[in-house]
């Protein structure tokens, strides 16, 4: 038997979406306008963002790890921090006798089971490398980070060498590199389109400006002719 449950109603929070975009990515003027016109909404965003900043553990790949721990600051609005003001996350453990809560075990490449090993007991055929849990705070960056860095730093890429560095099959690395090249080409194309659009806008503005100047000149000449004609008749 399958039991279905209705989730909470988030309609009220969905209405904040456009305002949240302004808070996160809007210009300074738009943010100030939001703070002035909707102070309640702005204060909610600021409260949440301050909590995030105080609790965020940095040093991990942000696109893969979103790691928050209590800050225990007196000014923090989180109930856990309010109950234990002045405490430290170092004293909290994942489990009794375990590592502190503010540390997160991350993987690194296993030197005992490297890429290209044909006698790996965990792989069939050629081994693409293996990972093990790190015993300290060091870790091997995710494949996407390593490949992006290599793609940005040099135009001569060796798929086999990169495959060994990220513990992936060479064919998958080639797919990644093609994707990165496609993204780069699309960005260049988008930049050209925006430049062309700005040029067209500037041309239209100049044409409108010249047209207005011509109209004013025509009106001025007409007024002068009428004035001279009227004066001549006098």
Contacts of 89 (CB under 8 A, 6+ apart): 69, 70, 71, 72, 100, 101, 102
Q: How does residue 215 score in pLDDT terms, banded at 50, 70 and 90? A: low
- pLDDT of 32: 94
pLDDT of residue 224: 54
Do residues 78 and 55 lie in contact, with contact meaning Cβ atoms separated by under 8 Å?
yes
pTM listed for this prediction = 0.59
In this predicted structure, the answer to whether residue 198 has a pLDDT above a threshold of 80 is no
Residue 234 confidence (pLDDT) = 37
Residue 232 has pLDDT above 50, yes or no: no
Per-residue model confidence as pLDDT tens digits over 17-44: 899 999 999 999 999 999 999 999 999 9
CA distance 78 to 71: 9
Locate the domains of the chain by residue range.
105-140
Q: Does position 14 have pLDDT exceeding 70, yes or no? A: yes
Positions of E strands within the chain = 107-109, 131-133
User: Would you state the pLDDT for residue 156?
Assistant: 81
What's the chain's average pLDDT? 82
């Amino acid at each position: 038997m399958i039991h279905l449950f209705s989730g909470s109603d988030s309609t009220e929070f969905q209405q904040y979406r456009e305002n949240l975009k302004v808070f996160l990515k809007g210009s300074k003027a738009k943010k100030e306008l939001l703070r002035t016109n909707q102070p309640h909404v702005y204060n909610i965003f600021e409260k949440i963002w301050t909590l995030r900043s105080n609790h965020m553990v940095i040093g991990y790949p942000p696109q893969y790890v979103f790691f928050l721990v209590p800050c225990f600051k007196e000014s923090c609005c989180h109930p856990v921090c309010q109950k234990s003001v002045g405490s430290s996350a170092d004293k909290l453990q994942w489990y009794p006798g375990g590592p502190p809560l503010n540390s997160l075990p991350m993987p690194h490449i296993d030197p005992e089971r490297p890429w290209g090993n044909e006698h790996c007991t965990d792989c069939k055929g050629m081994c693409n490398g293996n990972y093990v849990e790190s015993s300290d705070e060091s870790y091997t960056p995710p494949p996407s980070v390593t490949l992006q860095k290599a793609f940005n730093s040099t135009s001569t890429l060796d798929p086999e060498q990169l495959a060994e560095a990220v513990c992936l099959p060479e064919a998958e690395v080639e797919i990644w590199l093609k994707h990165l090249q496609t993204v780069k080409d699309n960005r260049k194309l988008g930049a050209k389109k925006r430049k062309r659009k700005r040029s067209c806008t500037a041309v239209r503005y100049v044409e409108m400006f010249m047209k207005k100047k011509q109209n004013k000149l025509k009106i001025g000449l007409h007024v002068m002719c009428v004035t001279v004609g009227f004066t001549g008749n006098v």
